[in-house]
Amino acid sequence: MNKIPGIVAATALLAVPATGQTAPAAQALPSDQNGVRHQLDIGAENAPLTTDQRTALDAAVRAHNYSAEKKTLDAAIAEHPDSWQLLAMKGRIAFLEHQPVDAVEALEQTNRLKPLAESDQLTLALAYEFSGKLEQARARLAELAIASPKDARYAYLLARVERPLLRPADAERHYREALRLDPNLVRAWDDLAELYESTGHPDEARKAYESGVAANRKTGQRTEWPPLRMAVFLLSHDELNDAEKLLLEALQYNPRSALVHFQLGELRRKQGQADAAFAEFKEAVVDDPKLDVAWFAVGRELQQRGETEQAKRAFEIFRQLQAKQQTPAK
């Protein structure tokens, strides 16, 4: 399986925002490369909150201050322990703030008071997945898929859960079902291609990557990811000319993509264009100063040019970034 440096292998279809200012009345998870959204209304309008609590919660949500959000909601729940609305709010906010364990706890409590709505069931399934409870996520998603058999999201998410459970045949089946329901689900094509690569089927992987690139061109929200991923696949097979075309296409969709510039740098190195490669690596660290592999590439190029001190600084930045990635979050 080809891996793009800086990309987690199982990139979330339904990502969780880390920043931004959205009022608590209605928050949404941002779209992935496919424009798919998991809409979340945190439910503040109908919850039993005092005016002061609403004001405090609004400020906390806008600041993404999870401790303040939790403090406000815990106080409200203490006053209204049987309010499923407050518990559901707590679960939704915990999910939005990257706290899947808390989201699971709150949404399970909500479900005991009142059966979860479909949107909350999906949130709970994702919280199960992100907290490592894959079997529970699988079970919940299977229920959703049965209830909404025409919704491609559930088939896709089932496939995504099957992969870390080491069920490649089931994952392939669910990806195929998702793509039958929505042939333009770009992320599903990419993930299916990666699955084929990881199971030793390069020809099938190539076809899936090609389908993802074609689907991406048809969408109204074209992104760099499908051509980038296929370009990396082609680079691994030394198909430089076709990889170059795809990387240049990716730059049209996002000229500031550090990963595209990094891969262009790798391509130029293979083509024997040292100066052009160096320029791409430098552009990559400008576009994303946290892209560790780009700093390593810059250091390597500087070292080859005899610029020892600058090379040492680049390598030191690389080491610092690597150390941060290896340090568990508190």
Strands, E assignment, 168-309: none
- CA distances, 201 to each of 206, 229, 262 (Å): 9, 16, 26
Please indicate, yes or no, if residue 32 is contained in any of the structural domains.
yes
Assess whether pLDDT exceeds 80 at residue 91. yes
User: Domain range for residue 63?
Assistant: 14-132
Cα torsion angle, 109, 115, 117, 119, sign:
positive
> What pLDDT is attached to residue 6?
29
Mean pLDDT of the region 293-310 = 96
Q: Give the tens place of pLDDT for each residue, 134-155.
A: 999 999 999 999 999 999 999 9
Decide: helix, strand or coil at residue 199.
coil
CA-wise closest residue to 228 among 204, 211, 251: 251
What the block records as the tokens of 190 is 């990419």
Please indicate, yes or no, if residue 34 is contained in any of the structural domains.
yes
- pTM recorded for the entire structure: 0.79
238 φ/ψ angles, rounded to the nearest 5 degrees = 60, 30
Indicate the burial class of 202 (C-beta count within 10 angstroms; 0-12, 13-18, 19 or more). middle
Please indicate, yes or no, if residue 116 is contained in any of the structural domains.
yes
- Report the largest interatomic distance among the alpha carbons of the chain, rounded to a whole angstrom: 70
101 phi-psi bin (left φ>0, alpha ψ -120 to 50, beta other): alpha
Q: Give the tens place of pLDDT for each residue, 14-57.
A: 333 232 322 222 233 333 444 344 444 677 778 899 999 999 99
* Contact call for residues 266 and 282 (beta carbons, < 8 A): no
325 φ/ψ angles, rounded to the nearest 5 degrees = -65, -30
Please indicate, yes or no, if residue 156 is contained in any of the structural domains.
no
Please indicate, yes or no, if residue 322 is contained in any of the structural domains.
no
Give the helix/strand (H/E) hosting 40: strand 39-40
Please indicate, yes or no, if residue 145 is contained in any of the structural domains.
no
Q: Give the tens place of pLDDT for each residue, 110-119.
A: 999 999 999 9
Going by pLDDT thresholds of 50, 70 and 90, the confidence category of residue 65 is very high
What the block records as the tokens of 40 is 């979340």
CATH number at residue 106: 1.25.40
Please indicate, yes or no, if residue 119 is contained in any of the structural domains.
yes
14-28, 226-240, 277-291 — which is least confidently predicted?
14-28
- Number of independent structural domains in the chain: 1
Count Cβ neighbours within 10 Å for each residue of 57-92 and write b for 16 or more, e otherwise.
beebbeebebeebbebbeebbeeeeebbbbbbbbbb
What the block records as the tokens of 49 is 């909150």
Please indicate, yes or no, if residue 94 is contained in any of the structural domains.
yes
